[in-house]
Amino acid sequence: MSQNVIEQLRANLRDHKDERGIEFEGRWVSWGEVARYGDAVVALLDAAGCPPSAKVGIIIRNRLAHAAAVVGLLAHRRSVSFVYPFLPATAISDNIEGLGAAAILADEQDWPNFAQAAGQAGCAGIAFNEINDAPHLVDGLEKCRRSSFDNALPEGGIEVLSSGTTGTPKRIPMPLKLLERAVMSAPGAESGSAPPVQINIWPLGGVGGVCLLTGAAVNNTPLVLMERFTVDGLVDALRRHRPDTLGLNPTAIAMIMDANVSPEDMESVKSVSGGSAYLDPDLQDRFEQRYNLPILWGMGATEFCGTIVRWTPQMRAERGDSKRGSTGLPMPGVEIRAIDPESGAEVARGAEGLLEVHCPSVRADWVRTTDLVMIDEDGYVFHRGRHDGAIVRGGFKILPERVVDALRQHPAVVDASVVGIPDARLGAVPVAAVELSQNAGPVDEQALLAHVRAELPPTHVPVEIRIMDALPRTPSLKVSLTEIKKMFLADAA
């Protein structure tokens, strides 16, 4: 089946070569231009002596040349591994050393940061610039000098990156045989009706971004690529392209609400999809009421190559708001159950447990996640947080998501993050960082603490709430728990 997807990709690049492919910074390029750039990258790999079966690494940015290179490499059934450019130079160098790749591909501006590391690893080097400028071999890295290569993807595919919410992003192999599942996670794929245009706010190095890019290239869907999400950039794209569907994450939804984007700018959108993180039901209610459109939320994981639980328009029409807060039902071909964390036994419907997933297209066995869920009598899934993030305060277990939810309910709070830090007496205690609305009136830590005390048990009240101009975020716009914890630990030292 994976061969069929690659053949569809190649056919689209060939048969629709003169049609709109990808827009970046207000300029469209055709699928033919995308294909030619990808072909040029592969020709350079051949010239550098990189074996067709060897993996190549891309220091990936949300830029046109990078997107074209990924599409071209997939069309030639090459194996690709992503590295985020926001990492410190030493971390990127360590990644390059550990990739076992034949070549490293990166933007011209990034090469000074790790050229030496690529040379020491024996990798060839290819530099990108604008798509009108041909890619070229990096001086001193014209040939691959490696004799052994990482064999994680022997038949081709992509190593996508996790979000990096709790630490350094991890690479998750997505073989070509699973590429179809990734494409099926793109909006409209399940119904067989691809949207007329899509706007991509997701990092290309993650499963959400690569699903949209690959799905667009396979289905001949024009794709608007944003280098980084801004409300102004999104509104500009909405006004120019009038899409009927939109993929957003919780942070983007909150930013749209905080910026008071007008309903007129959103009027072409019939539904919003997402699922990269938990969505506060109150935020969902306010968004749906303001814009008079449904949010079809879901739940996915990089390890499963896309979405595992989701809402569809048909499900929403049937259920209305009766399943408020749910992430929907499993995708076709996916089975789920909730397991007691201690005994491993399946819990009754309506009780909380760890989510286990059986997705035969990915792997034959049941896979236990760290997500706490409740599955109701009708099979609808309600996400309760991450079990591995629990803070144990003097024997009392605290799920950070519960405290985050309480903080988000304060009218001045746009977003919040809660982590645990060591405490000599209690073992660990919760601390919180919040980002306030642009329109927030005077509010201080004591007011926020009083709000939490009114909503939650005393054990859940943070020992400190810090108000920040902006919470630190990963490329997928999730709050970086690592950076939040570092901030509090540094101050406690």
Q: What is the CATH number of the domain that holds 430?
A: 3.30.300.30
CATH number of the domain encompassing residue 379? 3.40.50.12780
To the nearest whole percent, how much of the chain has pLDDT over 70?
94
Q: Are strands 329-330 and 306-310 parallel, antiparallel or unpaired?
A: antiparallel
Is the pLDDT score of 118 beyond 50?
Answer: yes
- Are residue 8 and residue 91 in the same domain, yes or no? yes
Residue 120: partners with Cβ closer than 8 Å, 6 or more residues away: 97
Last residue of a domain, which of 165, 186, 205?
A: 165
- Are residue 155 and residue 237 in the same domain, yes or no? no
What pLDDT does residue 1 have? 38
- Are residue 370 and residue 400 in the same domain, yes or no? no
* Half-sphere exposure (Cβ direction) of 10: Cα atoms closer than 13 Å: 12
Is the pLDDT score of 97 beyond 70?
Answer: yes
Residue 483's pLDDT band, with cuts at 50, 70 and 90, is: very high
- Are residue 408 and residue 452 in the same domain, yes or no? yes
The strand pairing partners of 391, in sequence order, are 398
Span 142-151, average pLDDT: 91
Last residue of a domain, which of 387, 408, 432?
A: 387
Q: Name the residue type at position 459.
A: T
What pLDDT does residue 2 have? 47
- Are residue 250 and residue 373 in the same domain, yes or no? yes
- Are residue 155 and residue 297 in the same domain, yes or no? no
In a domain, 175, yes or no: no
What pLDDT does residue 192 have? 58
Quote the CA–CA distance of 117 and 113 in Å, as a whole number.
Answer: 9
- Are residue 398 and residue 378 in the same domain, yes or no? no
Is the pLDDT score of 291 beyond 50?
Answer: yes
Residue 187's pLDDT band, with cuts at 50, 70 and 90, is: low
Question: Quick count: other Cβ atoms within 10 Å of Cβ 44?
Answer: 21
- Alpha carbon of 143 to those of 118, 122, 126, 148: distances in Å? 11, 8, 10, 14
Quote the CA–CA distance of 292 and 399 in Å, as a whole number.
Answer: 32
Quote the CA–CA distance of 196 and 357 in Å, as a whole number.
Answer: 33
Query: Which bin fits 49, alpha (ψ -120 to 50), beta or left (φ > 0)?
Result: left
Three-state secondary structure readout of the chain: CHHHHHHHHHHHHHHCCCCEEEEECCEEEEHHHHHHHHHHHHHHHHHCCCCCCCEEEEECCCCHHHHHHHHHHHHCCCEEEEECCCCCHHHHHHHHHHHCCCEEEEEHHHHHHCHHHHHHCCCEEEEECCCCCCCEECCCCCCCCCCCCCCCCCCCEEEEECCCCCCCCCEEEEEHHHHHHHHHCCCCCCCCCCCCCEEECCCCCCHHHHHHHHHHHHHCCCEEECCCCCHHHHHHHHHHHCCCEEECCHHHHHHHHHCCCCCCCCCCCCEEEECCCCCCHHHHHHHHHHHCCCEEEEEEEHHHCEEEEECCHHHHHHHCCCCCCCCEEECCCCEEEEECCCCCCECCCCCEEEEEEECCCCCCCEEEEEEEEEECCCCCEEEEEEHHHCEEECCEEECHHHHHHHHHCCCCEEEEEEEEEEECCCEEEEEEEEEECCCCCCCCHHHHHHHHHHHCCHHHCCCEEEEECCCCECCCCCECHHHHHHHHHHHHC
In a domain, 32, yes or no: yes
What pLDDT does residue 392 have? 84
Number of domains into which the chain is organized: 3
Last residue of a domain, which of 336, 358, 387?
A: 387
Residue 183: partners with Cβ closer than 8 Å, 6 or more residues away: 5, 189, 211, 214, 215, 218, 219
CB 448 within 8 A of CB 465: yes
What domain range includes position 366? Answer: 229-387
Question: Quick count: other Cβ atoms within 10 Å of Cβ 258?
Answer: 17
Is the pLDDT score of 193 beyond 70?
Answer: no
In a domain, 192, yes or no: no
Residue 223: partners with Cβ closer than 8 Å, 6 or more residues away: 21, 22, 23, 67, 197, 198, 199, 200, 212, 213, 216
In a domain, 445, yes or no: yes
- Are residue 240 and residue 356 in the same domain, yes or no? yes
In a domain, 184, yes or no: no
For the entire predicted model, the pTM comes to 0.82
CATH number of the domain encompassing residue 89? 3.40.50.980
CB 28 within 8 A of CB 18: no
Quote the CA–CA distance of 230 and 473 in Å, as a whole number.
Answer: 13
In a domain, 40, yes or no: yes
167-171, 292-296, 401-405: least confidently modelled range:
167-171
Q: What is the dihedral of CA 265, 267, 273, 275, to 10 degrees?
A: 40
Q: For the chain, give the mean pLDDT.
A: 90
- Alpha carbon of 117 to those of 32, 105, 114, 124, 142: distances in Å? 34, 13, 5, 11, 15
- Are residue 454 and residue 376 in the same domain, yes or no? no
CB 205 within 8 A of CB 160: yes
Residue 329: partners with Cβ closer than 8 Å, 6 or more residues away: 309, 310, 311, 315, 379, 380, 381
- Are residue 317 and residue 329 in the same domain, yes or no? yes
Quote the CA–CA distance of 175 and 163 in Å, as a whole number.
Answer: 19
What pLDDT does residue 163 have? 61
Span 227-236, average pLDDT: 95
Burial (0-12, 13-18, 19+ Cβ within 10 Å), 204: buried
What pLDDT does residue 346 have? 95
- Are residue 145 and residue 245 in the same domain, yes or no? no
- Are residue 331 and residue 409 in the same domain, yes or no? no
In a domain, 20, yes or no: no
In a domain, 361, yes or no: yes
pLDDT digit string (tens) for 430-455? 999 999 998 888 899 999 999 999 99
CB 274 within 8 A of CB 254: no
Encoded tokens for 134: 């041909």
